[in-house]
Amino acid sequence: ERAGTVATLVAEGHLEQAEGYTLALRMCESGEQWEWAVRLLEMCRQGPGLEVETCNTGIAACAKALQWQHSLEVLDEMSRVRVPVDVASYHGAASACSRSGQWEAAIAVLESAQGAAAADGETYAIGMMACASAEAWAAAVSLLAAADKSPTPGAARDELTYGIAVFGCERGGAWPWCLHLLEEMRSGATEPDAVTLACASKACATGGNAAAAKAVLAELRSRRLGDSAASVLEEASWVTDGPEMQRPVPLSALAAMAPKEVNVYKYVAKRATPGDIDSVLEAIEDFART
């Protein structure tokens, strides 16, 4: 439907200014129509000319469809044709690389953003998440270690960046590093959240260190953050897998940020049939009546 609307806008000649192209590109982003996004950017380039908001929206549209190469091409062109590249430009490009498992490209974007003084703590965290998700745990740990001395404003060794590093170590099977990072967090007065503890417990269990896994699980339970590593990570997975996820956050913070949404998800997940939209809608209606 959105692609049809975009086609109508083009056919009827409504796209005469960059703002119109930006609106059309937002429709492409919502509908994951990256081919239209690329076409619209070309039309804007030949028409009114590219502007920063138009380019950023195009980058985001390509990122959502996992077309990381196209996102990088737009970012590169912005510099070549002297369209201002801002923090949002780098966020979108780094996110595109992260979502597509291209951690080295994400780090390259982070380095470019730092060189242009257009990086912030979120850009840094996206770079770390790209490494962690791709099981490049050593790179994630290195970025964590360098965070406090980074020229990037907002980069720090905090709950978020430690959590990402522990997640990366769990993904990469580096359970000793999970324990080391937990100890480092405690010594620095940074309290690990539920997901960080669950990742560490899972890593130890998978790596054959049952005693360490049990000890971390005991902390999780004593702080009343969850009953098991599996249940905590299951609840968190809908965020990391969600196509709307634009930025990394401490996953266990979601309950405090959006308690109703988390409760809706739990309710629907238990009662609806996966892939059956009717059962999902019925479960949502049941939740609204309770």
- In the block, tokens 């990402």 appear at 164
Cα diameter, the chain: 68
Three-class DSSP labels, the chain: CHHHHHHHHHHCCCCCCHHHHHHHHHHHHHHCCHHHHHHHHHHHHHCCCCCHHHHHHHHHHHHHCCCHHHHHHHHHHHHHCCCCCCHHHHHHHHHHHHHCCCHHHHHHHHHHHHHCCCCCHHHHHHHHHHHHHCCCHHHHHHHHHHHHHCCCCCCCCCHHHHHHHHHHHHHCCCHHHHHHHHHHHHHCCCCCCHHHHHHHHHHHHHCCCHHHHHHHHHHHHHCCCCCCHHHHHHHHHHHHHCCCCCCCCCHHHHHHHCHHHHHHHHHHHHHCCCCCHHHHHHHHHHHHHC
pLDDT digits 0-9 by tens, 77-101: 999 999 999 999 999 999 999 989 9
pLDDT at residue 235, rounded to an integer = 72
Q: How far apart are CA 242 and CA 239, in angstroms?
A: 5
Q: How far apart are CA 253 and CA 285, in angstroms?
A: 26
pLDDT at residue 10, rounded to an integer = 56
Query: At 145, is the pLDDT very low, low, confident or very high (cuts 50, 70, 90)?
Result: very high
| Mean pLDDT in residue range 175-197 | 94
pLDDT digits 0-9 by tens, 27-45: 777 656 788 888 888 888 8
pLDDT at residue 247, rounded to an integer = 40
Per the model's pLDDT, the better-predicted residue between 110 and 241 turns out to be: 110
Q: How far apart are CA 124 and CA 156, in angstroms?
A: 9
Q: How far apart are CA 137 and CA 120, in angstroms?
A: 21
Domain boundaries, the chain: 1-85, 181-244, 257-289
pLDDT at residue 260, rounded to an integer = 61
Nearest to 64 by CA among 23, 103, 93, 24: 93
Average pLDDT, the chain: 83
Query: At 278, is the pLDDT very low, low, confident or very high (cuts 50, 70, 90)?
Result: confident
Query: At 220, is the pLDDT very low, low, confident or very high (cuts 50, 70, 90)?
Result: very high
Residue 223 in tokens: 């702080």
pLDDT at residue 196, rounded to an integer = 93
